[in-house]
């Protein structure tokens, strides 16, 4: 736990949802501020400088996605989205606008706390010097030497596989949209060619996961994108 | 507007034949009376001119026959009243015979030419009238909004131009010609109409008229297909139909055909628009409903959970209740989700967001998504090595797999494994989810995929019987099949297929 309590801003119009979200976040030892509307949320985000924003996409005075775009103009505070299922497009838009993660309603307090912890951990880590060594499962990646080993054995990755891996590793826990990854790795003209991304994620799983059919680290967010789980 | 004259009768006569002849006689007599007092002042040659003028006028006004009569009468009257000896047919000077001959010849030629000109003038007038009538008809037809209006306009036109009664027949769903409006009691021989429609050629039957049926059946040929039949019943026999009238009727038929075709496409466009609006309305209602139902459910699940956070901790029984509340609310959320999904899938064509992808990925994602629900069951995934990329909507296929896995976990005994296999054949990939549960009752397997049907109707396991119906709707939308089966050693097995198609090429990376 951090020495100074992390500040979390909850932007949600539904009082009862706000209530239990607040309880769950406070349980993580955070200070909580609440906002009911998009306008209030933006003001609070500016004045209180929170370490995490939990944002409901359907607000009475506007779309939460606009709030993210606005916020991203001057802040890189992590944003956790609360959204209803069957709105993949909203999720993608929110993530593309700069949100970090999302929870699908209804969600349990356990899930919420896990996401909050992960996002706050990333924040506290950002101040440290970044280590070029990343380890997950039985895999070790040395980003400075571009060496990947699995259970001590070197693993050969193609250029694109390596670029995909390092992009995913750079933002652990964060959901990266397909569009985002395609643009980053293949370039803007490949944005519609999602099968490239899928095939190469498959390659990474084949080479780095213990059971490629039930991956533990390179997770699919169906219809949205991918997440690297250390 | 002047009332259009009938085009069927060749040309209008202002006077009957008898009246014409009487007028001719009067005209010639009049000329005689006028010329008699002039005899003292004028040469006989000039008197002849007066008679020729009369013949010319008669030819122009009254036609050829009257003009011939006028020619003969003029010569006779000239002979009797002007050529000496007067008041007799006798001629004193043989020269006058030449005068008569020339006069008769001139008169007849004049009559012929003048009458010919008159005939031509009348024909071109008729042609012009016809063109104007057709033009007007085309303009009226272009403005029609319903087939009934087309019928009314066509009826007006045919009644005025042909003194006949028309009916329009359009094909019904079984491609049989059917009368559009029953306001008219005209009888049609549907068999003949059918022949005209199928053959695309006009059909005429004289026999039909005696029985009160329409005699002429013209196909309504438009650019795409024959759109129907125009049946016409003539009051008089249609045998005296001139070539002009027949071609006019054919032009009329094609004008009507174009109008009917246009209306058909207007209808198609309107139906599409209505469907689009309905679709939009439905999806906005569904998403509003989904939001409104999910919000309180989210609060219930979360609030039940939050009871665990209360300090000091609540007694164990209270926490048990809180857990039960959480579970029940979660189940309710699942049911609401299923119902909304079913409503969405049942509402019409499912909109698929198809993308080419490996099957492996969506299987892994489904297992990951279910998480705790699969507790107590090891899931074994056995995929053939040669599986191609498939084109499907990942979110929906994930739904299918989740439903199947959840079902298997629900009915199979704890600790038993669930197996997911996939193999490719010539044109599809078959996915199977197998468990060690009680399997499916033999006799009702096809019913399983219907809505609200469950394997055991009074099962103690919670459920609505929507899960498999949703799976079927999704698999159907992808052009696949889903079947329920039992494994040889007992235990259920659900298989579904996804068509293969031609996957895009993923270029090998240059190293």
**Could you say which DSSP state residue A188 is in?**
G
Share of chain A above pLDDT 90, in %: 44
Retrieve residue B341's tokens: 């999904």
Whether the pLDDT of residue B458 is over 60: the answer is: no
Give pLDDT, residue B5: 42
Residue of B nearest to A83 (CA): B291
Query: CB contact, 8 Å: B306 with chain A?
Result: yes
Q: CA B70, B76, B81, B82 torsion: positive or negative?
A: positive
Task: Give the number of other CB atoms < 10 A from CB of residue B485.
Answer: 13
Give pLDDT, residue B454: 65
The reply to whether ipTM tops 0.90 is: no
In the structure, what pLDDT confidence band is assigned to residue B208 with cuts at 50, 70 and 90?
low
In the structure, what pLDDT confidence band is assigned to residue B428 with cuts at 50, 70 and 90?
very high
Contact A199 B389 (CB under 8 A): yes
- The arithmetic mean of pLDDT across residues B329-356, rounded, is 81
Share of chain A above pLDDT 70, in %: 94
Contact B355 A220 (CB under 8 A): no
Give pLDDT, residue B462: 61
Q: What is the pLDDT of residues A164-181, one digit of tens each?
A: 999 999 888 888 999 989
| CA-to-CA separations, A136 to A172, A175, A204, in angstroms, rounded | 11, 17, 13
Is B367 in contact with A216 (CB distance < 8 Å)? no
- List chain B residues with CB under 8 Å of A107: 298, 301-302
Query: CB contact, 8 Å: A112 with chain B?
Result: yes
- The arithmetic mean of pLDDT across residues B156-184, rounded, is 77
Alpha helix positions (H), B200-315: 207-210, 243-306
Nearest residue, CB atoms, B394 vs list A24, A219, A222: A222
Contact A24 B363 (CB under 8 A): no
Query: CB contact, 8 Å: A212 with chain B?
Result: yes
Nearest residue, CB atoms, A84 vs list B291, B363, B394: B291
Beta bridge partners of A83: A104
Whether the pLDDT of residue A195 is over 50: the answer is: yes
Residue of A nearest to B420 (CA): A213
Whether the pLDDT of residue B1 is over 50: the answer is: no
Give pLDDT, residue A161: 92
Contact A109 B309 (CB under 8 A): yes
Q: Which of A93, A120, A138 is nearest to A31 (CA)?
A: A120
- The arithmetic mean of pLDDT across residues B15-42, rounded, is 87
Give pLDDT, residue B505: 82
Nearest residue, CB atoms, A222 vs list B298, B358, B398: B398
Tell the burial category of B481 from Cβ atoms under 10 Å away from its Cβ (0-12, 13-18, 19+).
middle
Whether the pLDDT of residue B30 is over 60: the answer is: yes
Contact A108 B504 (CB under 8 A): no
- List chain A residues with CB under 8 Å of B330: 106, 108
Query: CB contact, 8 Å: A17 with chain B?
Result: yes
Mutual angle of helices B64-81 and B17-35, in 10-degree steps: 30
**Could you say which DSSP state residue B235 is in?**
S
- List chain A residues with CB under 8 Å of B394: 222-223
Give pLDDT, residue B455: 61
How far apart are the C-alpha atoms of B225 and B348, rounded to whole Å? 30
Beta bridge partners of B485: B493
Nearest residue, CB atoms, A23 vs list B309, B326, B361: B309
- The arithmetic mean of pLDDT across residues B8-21, rounded, is 64
In the structure, what pLDDT confidence band is assigned to residue B490 with cuts at 50, 70 and 90?
confident
Task: Give the number of other CB atoms < 10 A from CB of residue A114.
Answer: 14
| CA-to-CA separations, B484 to B89, B423, B445, B468, in angstroms, rounded | 118, 17, 6, 10
Chain centroid to CA A109: 18
Residues contacting B146, CB < 8 A, separation 6+: B263
Tell the burial category of A29 from Cβ atoms under 10 Å away from its Cβ (0-12, 13-18, 19+).
exposed
Give pLDDT, residue A192: 83
Give pLDDT, residue B209: 62
Q: What is the pLDDT of residues A41-81, one digit of tens each?
A: 999 999 989 999 999 988 888 888 889 999 999 888 999 99
**What's the distance, Cα to Cα, between the start and end of chain B in Å?**
87
- List chain A residues with CB under 8 Å of B306: 19-20, 23-24, 109
How far apart are the C-alpha atoms of B326 and B308, rounded to whole Å? 11
Q: Which of B162, B261, B251 is nearest to B215 (CA)?
A: B162
Q: What is the pLDDT of residues B492-502, one digit of tens each?
A: 899 999 999 88
Retrieve residue B222's tokens: 């438009």
Is B491 in contact with B503 (CB distance < 8 Å)? no
Sheet holding A79-84, edge to edge: A31-35, A7-11, A52-56, A79-84, A101-105
Nearest residue, CB atoms, B297 vs list A106, A215, A220: A106
Nearest Cα of chain B lies from the Cα of A207 at a distance, in angstroms, of 15
Whether the pLDDT of residue A128 is over 80: the answer is: no
Query: CB contact, 8 Å: A220 with chain B?
Result: yes
Q: Which of A199, A222, A224, A229 to mutate to test the interface with B (most CBs of B within 10 A)?
A: A222
Give pLDDT, residue B6: 42
Q: What is the pLDDT of residues B239-262, one digit of tens each?
A: 556 777 788 888 888 888 888 888
Contact A195 B503 (CB under 8 A): yes
Query: CB contact, 8 Å: B305 with chain A?
Result: yes
Q: Which of B285, B304, B306 to mutate to test the interface with A (most CBs of A within 10 A)?
A: B306
* SS3 state at B79: helix
Give pLDDT, residue B390: 92
Instruction: Give the range among A9-23, A32-46, A129-143, B358-372 with minimum mean pLDDT.
Output: A129-143
Tell the burial category of B6 from Cβ atoms under 10 Å away from its Cβ (0-12, 13-18, 19+).
middle
* SS3 state at B357: strand
Query: CB contact, 8 Å: A84 with chain B?
Result: yes
- List chain B residues with CB under 8 Å of A159: 509, 511
How far apart are the C-alpha atoms of B100 and B106, rounded to whole Å? 10
Look at the pTM and tell me if it is higher than 0.95: no
Retrieve residue A195's tokens: 């099968």
Is B411 in contact with B404 (CB distance < 8 Å)? no
- List chain B residues with CB under 8 Å of A215: 364, 368
How far apart are the C-alpha atoms of B283 and B260, rounded to whole Å? 34
Instruction: Give the range among B135-149, B292-306, B344-358, B380-394 with minimum mean pLDDT.
Output: B344-358
């Amino acid at each position: 736990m951090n020495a100074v309590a992390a500040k979390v801003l909850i932007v949600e119009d539904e009082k009862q949802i706000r209530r239990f979200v607040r309880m769950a976040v406070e349980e993580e030892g955070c200070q909580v501020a609440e906002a009911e509307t998009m306008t209030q949320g933006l003001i609070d985000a500016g004045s209180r400088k929170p370490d995490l924003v939990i944002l409901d996409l359907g607000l009475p005075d506007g779309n939460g996605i606009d709030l993210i775009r606005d916020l991203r103009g001057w802040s890189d505070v992590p944003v956790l989205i609360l959204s209803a299922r069957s709105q993949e497009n909203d999720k993608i838009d929110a993530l593309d606008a700069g949100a970090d993660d999302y929870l699908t309603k209804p969600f349990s307090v356990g899930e919420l706390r896990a996401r909050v912890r992960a996002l706050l951990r990333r924040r506290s880590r950002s101040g440290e010097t970044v280590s070029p060594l990343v380890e997950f499962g039985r895999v070790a990646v040395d980003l400075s030497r571009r060496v990947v080993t699995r259970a001590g054995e070197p693993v050969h990755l193609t250029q694109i596989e390596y670029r995909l891996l390092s992009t995913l590793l750079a933002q652990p826990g964060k959901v990266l949209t397909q569009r985002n990854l395609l643009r980053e790795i293949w370039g803007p003209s490949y944005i519609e060619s999602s099968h490239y991304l899928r095939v190469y994620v498959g390659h990474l799983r084949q080479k780095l996961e213990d059971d490629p059919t039930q991956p533990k680290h390179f997770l699919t967010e169906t219809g949205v994108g991918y997440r690297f789980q250390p | 507007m002047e009332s259009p004259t009938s085009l069927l009768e060749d040309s209008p006569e202002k006077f009957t034949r008898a009246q014409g002849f009487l007028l001719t006689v009067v005209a010639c007599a009049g000329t005689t009376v006028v010329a008699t007092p002039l005899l003292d002042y004028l040469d006989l040659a000039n008197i002849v001119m007066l008679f020729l003028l009369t013949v010319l006028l008669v030819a122009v006004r009254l036609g050829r026959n009257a003009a011939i009569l006028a020619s003969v009468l003029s010569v006779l009257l000239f002979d009797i009243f002007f050529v000496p000896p007067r008041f007799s047919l006798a001629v004193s000077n043989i020269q006058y015979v030449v005068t008569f001959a020339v006069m008769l010849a001139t008169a007849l030629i004049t009559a012929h030419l003048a009458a010919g000109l008159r005939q031509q003038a009348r024909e071109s007038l008729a042609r012009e009238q016809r063109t104007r009538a057709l033009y007007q008809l085309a303009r009226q037809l272009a403005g029609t909004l319903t087939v009934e209006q087309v019928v009314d306009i066509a009826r007006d036109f045919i009644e005025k131009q042909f003194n006949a009664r028309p009916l329009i027949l359009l094909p019904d769903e079984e491609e049989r010609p059917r009368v559009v409006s029953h306001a008219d009691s005209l009888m049609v021989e549907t068999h003949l109409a059918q022949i005209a429609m199928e053959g695309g050629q006009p059909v005429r039957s004289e026999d039909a008229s005696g029985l009160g049926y329409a005699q002429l059946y013209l196909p309504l040929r438009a650019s795409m297909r024959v759109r129907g039949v125009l049946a016409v019943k003539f009051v008089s026999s249609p045998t005296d139909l001139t070539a002009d009238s027949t071609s006019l009727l054919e032009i009329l038929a094609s004008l009507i055909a174009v109008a009917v075709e246009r209306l058909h496409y207007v209808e198609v466009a309107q139906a599409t628009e209505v469907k689009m609006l309905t679709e939009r309305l439905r999806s906005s209602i569904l998403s509003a409903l989904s939001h409104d139902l999910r919000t309180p459910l989210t609060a219930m699940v979360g609030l039940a959970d939050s009871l665990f956070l209360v300090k000091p901790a609540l007694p164990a029984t209270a926490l048990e209740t809180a857990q039960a509340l959480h579970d029940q609310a979660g189940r309710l959320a699942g049911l609401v989700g299923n119902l909304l999904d079913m409503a969405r899938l049942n509402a019409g064509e499912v909109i698929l967001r198809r993308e080419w992808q490996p099957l492996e990925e969506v299987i892994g994602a489904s297992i990951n998504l279910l998480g705790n629900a699969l507790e107590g069951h090891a899931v074994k995934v056995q995929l053939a090595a040669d599986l191609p990329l498939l084109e499907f909507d990942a979110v929906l296929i994930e739904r299918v797999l989740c439903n199947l896995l959840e079902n298997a976990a629900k009915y199979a005994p704890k600790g038993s494994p669930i197996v997911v296999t996939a193999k490719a054949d010539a044109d599809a990939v078959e996915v199977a989810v197998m468990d060690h549960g009680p399997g499916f009752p033999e006799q009702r397997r096809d019913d399983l995929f219907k809505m609200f049907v469950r394997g055991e109707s009074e099962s103690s396991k919670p459920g609505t019987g929507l899960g498999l119906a949703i799976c079927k709707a999704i698999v159907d939308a992808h052009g696949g099949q889903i079947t329920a089966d039992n494994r040889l050693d007992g235990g259920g097995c659900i298989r579904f297929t996804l068509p293969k198609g031609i996957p895009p090429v993923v270029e090998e990376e240059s190293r």
